[in-house]
Amino acid sequence: MDSICNQLLNVKGTVVEDARIVDSPLRPVPVLEIRVRPRKGMPRCPRCGRRRHGYDQGGGVRRWRHQDFGCWRVELVASMPRVDCPECGVVVARVPWAEPGSRFTKDFEAECAWLMGVASQKTVSGFLHVAWRTAGDIARRVADRLRTAMPSPFDGLTAIGVDETSHRKGHTYITVVVDHERHRVIRARDGYGRDVFDLFFQQLTEERKASIRVVTGDGARWIDPCVAAHCPNAERVLDGFHIVSWMTGALDQVRRRLWNDARRAGDEEATKRMRGAKYAVLKNPGDLTDRQNDALGAIRNTDPKGQPYRAWQLKELPRTLLKHPLDQARGELNHWVFWASHSRIPEIVELSKKIRRRRPDILRTIRLGCSNARLEASDDRIKVTIRMAYGFHHVTNLIALIMLRCGGPDIRLPQPAI
């Protein structure tokens, strides 16, 4: 029994002393309790990892949750001797099966992290029976382990992107830097603005900075001077999907203003029309459902020269523009700015000023052909992850989850060590 347990446990340097089933009314499920100890030899200090002399047996007994065996909950139990480390003091010795401070074995944590990379919060907590907050702590530990084992993600960068996203309803911001070539997040930090982006560049050697040719980002003003200061060879490029999102933002403002006007004027017909078009105006023509098509048709038929329909027509250009060849795009952009600035729709006029100001950047985006769909997909994945991490205790756990899910680490499920 003990030798089978030893094989099943699959942890190097561990000896199984005893195994028993504990079925106590105090526990929600029966537990297979496995008593273990580290293989003989000098114990290690958990902080510096060096072999140190034993101090005493004073650390007491601890338990670690391991992967279930079938429907049995499995716990490792071991007494915790202490070591005397000249650098770190008297501390509880390191054990081979778990990280210091964790109440889970490394194999359990690896499985949990793997699952967090591919599944939803509900699946992870429900399947593994761990509280979501606890899963956040696990994500942090596994992300730390993987980072030290992986080669630096900052080597050989040529095109990077920076984006800031809010979480906790806009109270906190996270700045994320992505590697466009390898399609992964290379850095996530809480905070936003130039200082945070500067900190990222401070981690790069001069050689690494010089290899960066393209930096993408939204229209935030702090990005330009920061890129100019750190990356002498880089061109600053606007993310295509940000250009599109400016337009949808302006369009939504138009719709909301008109809806409010109609409501105030007591025009029920118009209010209903605007409400029906709420989602239709934001969508691309190919993606409209039948009902939304009808809603848009109602607006066009009642008022083809009216603001919402004209605004919707103007929206189409920034979206298709990015797919056209440069010369054609240049002409279309000038044409669009002309029409938008003469549209007499205040929100669209305002947007036309912004687009005119950003014209060189937009044309550069088109020239360099940074794949828009892919950028948007990775941006979406980051946003989904941030929503997933809602309920975590610390922002460091959220950042760890972003790195696990979007940083492309090599998370492996535990394998038998035979």
CB of 58 to Zn ion, least distance (A): 17
* Smallest distance from Zn ion to CB 77, Å: 25
Closer to Zn ion by CB, 87 or 287: give it. 87
CB of 37 to Zn ion, least distance (A): 21
Evaluate the CA torsion angle 282, 288, 293, 295 in order and state its sign.
negative
Q: Which amino acid is at 349?
A: V
- Classify the phi-psi angles of 191: left when phi > 0, otherwise alpha if psi is within -120 to 50, otherwise beta: left
CB of 45 or CB of 345, closer to Zn ion: 45
Q: Compute the least distance from the CB of residue 389 to Zn ion, in Å.
A: 33
Determine if 42 is a binding residue for Zn ion (CB under 5 A): no
Part in contact with Zn ion (CB under 5 A); list of ranges 22-30, 40-48, 148-156, 254-262: 40-48
Q: Minimum Å distance from CB 87 to Zn ion?
A: 5
Distance CA 214, CA 234 (A): 5
Q: Which is nearer to Zn ion, 95 or 351 (CB)?
A: 95
Q: Rank residues 45 and 270 by Cβ distance to Zn ion and give the closer one.
A: 45
Distance CA 107, CA 284 (A): 46
Q: Is 206 in the site for Zn ion (CB under 5 A)?
A: no
Q: How many chain residues bind Zn ion (CB under 5 A)? A: 6
* DSSP codes of every residue in 155-176: TT--EEEEEEEEETTTTEEEEE
In whole angstroms, what is the distance from residue 370 CA to residue 388 CA?
Answer: 28
Token pair in block for residue 74? 């499995």
Region of 41-49, 172-180, 201-209, 320-328 interacting with Zn ion (CB under 5 A): 41-49
Q: Is residue 92 at the binding interface for Zn ion, with CB under 5 A as the rule? A: no
Does the footprint of Zn ion cover residue 129 (CB under 5 A)? no
The minimum distance between CB 60 and Zn ion, in angstroms, equals: 20
Q: Compare residues 87 and 327 and give the one whose CB is closer to Zn ion.
A: 87
Judge whether 273 and 366 are in contact, CB under 8 Å. no
Verify binding: residue 45, Zn ion, rule CB under 5 A.
yes
How open is the CA angle 356-359-363, to the nearest 5 degrees? 155
Identify which range of 45-53, 277-285, 350-358, 406-414 contacts Zn ion by CB under 5 A.
Answer: 45-53
Here the tokens at position 316 are 């189409």
- Closest to 77 in 3D by CA, of 94, 62, 95: 62
Nearer to Zn ion, 50 or 300 (CB): 50
**Nearest distance from C-beta of residue 148 to Zn ion, angstroms:** 17
- Among 22, 48, 131, 377, the residue binding Zn ion under the rule CB under 5 A is 48
The minimum distance between CB 82 and Zn ion, in angstroms, equals: 12
With CA atoms as reference, report the closest residue to 397 among 105, 64, 174: 174
Of 20, 39, 47, 63, the residue at the interface with Zn ion (CB under 5 A) is 47
Cβ of 175: how many Cβ atoms within 10 Å?
20
Q: Is 90 in the site for Zn ion (CB under 5 A)?
A: no
Nearer to Zn ion, 11 or 45 (CB): 45
Minimum distance from CB of 88 to Zn ion (Å)? 3
Judged by CB under 5 A, the stretch of 42-50, 56-64, 144-152, 369-377 that binds Zn ion is 42-50
Using CB under 5 A as the binding rule, the residues of this chain from 69 to 88 that contact Zn ion are 85, 87-88
In this complex, which beta carbon is closest to Zn ion, that of residue 43 or of residue 409?
43
| Euclidean distance between CA atoms 108 and 415, whole angstroms | 12
In Å, what is the CA distance from 64 to each residue of 25, 39, 75, 112, 396? Answer: 20, 17, 5, 14, 23
Report CA-CA distances (Å) from 36 to 5, 23, 118. Answer: 10, 20, 32
CA-nearest of 387, 380, 395, 414 to 185 is: 380
Q: Which CB sits closer to Zn ion, 56 or 294?
A: 56
CA distance 216 to 379: 13
- Least spacing, CB of residue 96 vs Zn ion, in Å: 17
Beta carbon nearer to Zn ion, 45 or 214: 45
Give the Cα separation of 49 and 160 in Å (integer). 36
Rounded Cα distance, 55 and 94, in Å: 13
* Smallest separation, CB 126 to Zn ion (Å): 39
Q: Which is nearer to Zn ion, 87 or 206 (CB)?
A: 87
Q: Which residues bind Zn ion (CB under 5 A)?
A: 45, 47-48, 85, 87-88
